[in-house]
Amino acid sequence: MAITYFSDTSNLQASLATFVVTLIGAKIVLHLIQKDNAPPGPQGLPLLGYLPFFGEFPYKTFKKLRRQYGDIFSVQMGSFPAVVLNGRELIKEALVNRGDDFSGRPNFYSSQVCGPEALLLQYSDITVLHRKLATNYLQKFTEARHNPIEEMVNDEVRIASSEFADTNGKPFYPRDIIFQCVGSVIFQICYGRDVNIREENPSFVEFTKSSSDFTQFVASGNPVEVMPYLRYVMPWKVTKFKQIMKRLVSIRINQVKEIMKSYRPGHMRHLADGLISAYQEEKNKPDSVFTEQRVFKTLDEITGAGFESIATTLTWTVLMLAAHPEIQEKAHQEIERVIGKRQPKLMDKFELNYCQALVNEVMRFTNIVPLSFPHAATKDTELAGYTIRKGTVVIPNLHSISHDPELWGDPDTFRPDRYLDSNSLLDKSSVDKFSVFSIGRRKCLGETLARKELFLFTVGMLQHCKFTKPDHIKEYTFASCKLGHSNPRHLEQRVRRS
């Protein structure tokens, strides 16, 4: 038995040694291949790359690496070679001026689960068509003479203000109330008005829960994304993701199928009607690429763009107001002076300059997506004098713009006045310095909708409420989460009727 034991051990040691040597050899070969004028960068570990060194806040790690390697550097993300782009000019060069070269999406594991119809995949004529149709119909719906967005948001502000008031000045977490209100607006934009949407529409309840689950799952980090072989080691990660996606897809399909039963050509009740109309017009054309499935996927992108990012930004807004009472009072005084007690309208933004500045400063300071959703090189190309191979993951570091001292002077100070000119009017050149919605062909499809909602919600809440920190909190600590939206979930506050 002893001989057998040692023999097995020797075989095991030999196998492990062979495995380690193979890994090291593969690492060396990979390094030599990628060293072909690739951007410089730190060395990582076999199989894992530089992922173990990203830390809790990757954008902070990238800030340090930028000091060492410059505005562009390479990192290995598991199985994927990646380059990180820093600074406004370099990111603009890649995503705007060189959009053809960097408009792809990485073939991460989640894209394989979502299927080939996913809009997050490669940029193509199909993608262009869908973005164009979605933008056109979204614009038609939100800019109608009788603007439904104003009515929807004002209704939700009343609900939120009432629920805030029900806390009776006690500390509470505002996130859930805000998420319900924002979710209600985007759900109605896509699928239609429903007076009792919260109580009587189970699809809406499931939509808000599943959307929140999806964002939390992505934000927490999923190593299977960049190391697909881990699906055999961490099967629960894959199972959970598939379950969330299945729930979201089911909601969307059921909603559209119900809508199709009452669809009338030429009568647009909501965004789904508009997209169904486009599908009906396109489907019989010989070269048509517009399918029923793609109607569903377009709605997916709109709901994703219009829900989580808006809700998270608004949650940060009320927390920033509580943290800066002097800024809150200044915005409230402007609202009192310009519109008084009447409901806010989108046209009011031209006179509510400080409120617009406040919205932009919240987006800049909190920067809910410090790292833009990754792009991918669509072909072998060059950037900043370096060779970028086809398929390379490209990560625009938006935090390097939103908190660039050369652009803002004091980027770590929350100061809405930076967006105003000498006449206290909104300075468009300052607004254009940074967009949390990214830039270029892949910028957020829902940017226009998001800006409208953020303005109306912010003004409405400031009309009705005054936000303060709980007595036991001396100062809020603001930090972005690991990989996705910054997370204001655990910050308490108090509110009273203003």
Cβ–Cβ under 8 Å, residues 160 and 177: yes
Report which secondary-structure segment, H or E, holds 479. Answer: none
Cα separations (Å) of 331 from 123, 336, 346, 385, 438?
41, 9, 16, 47, 27
Cβ–Cβ under 8 Å, residues 471 and 298: no
Nearest alpha-carbon partner for 402 in 420, 419, 379? 419
The whole-angstrom separation of Cα 346 and Cα 456 is: 7
- Residue 223: CA atoms inside 13 Å, Cβ hemisphere, count? 16
Amino acid at 214: F
Cβ–Cβ under 8 Å, residues 379 and 103: no
The whole-angstrom separation of Cα 371 and Cα 401 is: 11
Cβ–Cβ under 8 Å, residues 142 and 448: yes
DSSP string for residues in 367-414: -S-SBPPPEE-SSSEEETTEEE-TT-EEEEBTHHHHT-HHHHSSTTS-
The whole-angstrom separation of Cα 58 and Cα 80 is: 16
- Beta strand pairing status for 386-388 and 381-383? antiparallel
The whole-angstrom separation of Cα 422 and Cα 399 is: 27
355 is in an annotated binding site: no
Structure tokens at 396: 């625009």
| CB environment 16-53: b (16+ within 10 A), e (fewer) | eeeeeeeeeeebeeeeeebeeebbebbebebebbbbee
* Residues facing 172 on adjacent strands: 493
The whole-angstrom separation of Cα 363 and Cα 432 is: 12
3-state secondary structure of 327: helix
3-state secondary structure of 465: strand
Cβ–Cβ under 8 Å, residues 376 and 104: yes
CB-CB neighbours of 379 under 10 Å:
12
- Residue ranges for the known binding site for heme are 444
- Residue ranges for the known binding site are 444
